[in-house]
Amino acid sequence: MSDLAIQTNGLTKRFRAQTAVDGIDLAVPRGSVFGFLGPNGSGKTTTIRMLLGLVGATSGTARVLGTDMPKGLDDVLPHVGALVEGPAFAPFLSGAANLARFDAADRYAPRSTRADRVADALERVGLSHAARKKAGAYSLGMKQRLGLANALLMPRDLLVLDEPTNGLDPQGTREVRSLIRSFAADGTTVFVSSHLLAEVEQLCTHVGVMSAGRLVAQGTLDEFRRSGAARVEVVTPDPGAARAVLARLGLTADADAAPDAAADVDTLVTADLGEHPPDAEAVVAALVRDGVRVRGFAVRRTSLEQRFVELTGEGFDVVA
């Protein structure tokens, strides 16, 4: 069995003259919570639709749970729960009745336990109190929860969630976040499309970043945290001496650092650490050894928000 829940090679989708998804190579490890990031219109939803067989690819290949798609659609989809582009329900039926209809359409779902599965799914998303309420009277957040409940009616190996916290209040967002963590703890792979950076930081183990139809980066969240440019900051009344020490260590300090002055005035000296930086402890030791008075020291890395802006050229919403 492949150790990847989702794998694509050169996956491409064109709509006439427009290329919505341009030759992406996704690798989503089994058991991960994979954040699929990108500004609106970057190709995230089109990619998801291709993975689920909702739209055909122009070229390239996709494998889901080790099976070629869309050829293996009938074998794969019973093991996949999905919430794509917002849930759609019969407004004149209750939440529970809507779930029962969807469950009845699943030929793998046993009829004898349907009522129990519907009740359990509603409880997991906090909708037990509204089970008999008509879906047309649900708020946007409640409809989003009902869509999640639908994805949970049967045990799943993979959950594909497109903007799962859309329309939820802060409490609902926290509850969905807790739910996703519980799925991952049970071994379910969760593929989360989002433009909310704060959510991805709190939820995901891996990320992929889309921009204008291209997959511009992917990897573990820790790799992304380490991939941004790092800088060393030294607060000292001896900026000239500090620059000399940093230069000897192969670090070029900013040119605007002032020379040492007679006045005992603290100055901030900064330098890029580069690809193979010395240990922070070694930098401090070298400064002190040369008599530099170190009154402040820090290593600053590019934030995830800055890193995503660098990759996409666009900003992200950073609050839920």
Please identify, in words, the CATH class of the domain defined by 229-301: alpha beta
Cis, peptide link before residue 70, omega less than 30° from 0: yes
Tracing tokens 């998804």 back to the chain, one arrives at: 21
pLDDT at 320: 33
CATH architecture of 4-226: 3-Layer(aba) Sandwich (3.40)
Using the predicted structure, report yes or no on whether residue 319 has a pLDDT greater than 50.
Answer: no
Using the predicted structure, report yes or no on whether residue 10 has a pLDDT greater than 70.
Answer: yes
pLDDT at 265: 84
Band the pLDDT of 90: cuts 50, 70, 90.
Answer: very high
Which position has the higher pLDDT, 320 or 233? 233
Using the predicted structure, report yes or no on whether residue 260 has a pLDDT greater than 90.
Answer: no
- Mean pLDDT, residues 177-182: 84
Which position has the higher pLDDT, 306 or 127? 127
pLDDT at 126: 86
pLDDT at 263: 62
> Which range among 151-160, 191-200, 231-240 shows the weakest confidence by mean pLDDT?
191-200
pLDDT at 129: 94
Phi, psi of 252, rounded to the nearest 5 degrees: -95, 115
Cβ pair 231, 299 in contact under 8 A: yes
Residues 278-287 pLDDT 10s: 788 889 999 9
CB-based contacts of 150, cutoff 8 Å, min separation 6: 81, 83, 87, 98, 99, 102, 121
Band the pLDDT of 318: cuts 50, 70, 90.
Answer: very low
Kind plus residue range of the DSSP H or E element containing 108: none
Asked if the domains at 4-226 and 229-301 fall in one CATH topology, the answer is no
Using the predicted structure, report yes or no on whether residue 256 has a pLDDT greater than 70.
Answer: no
- Tokens standing for residue 115: 């009522």
CB-based contacts of 76, cutoff 8 Å, min separation 6: 64, 65, 67, 69
Using the predicted structure, report yes or no on whether residue 300 has a pLDDT greater than 80.
Answer: no
pLDDT at 317: 46
- Mean pLDDT, residues 292-319: 70
* Domain locations along the chain: 4-226, 229-301
For the chain, what is the mean pLDDT?
85
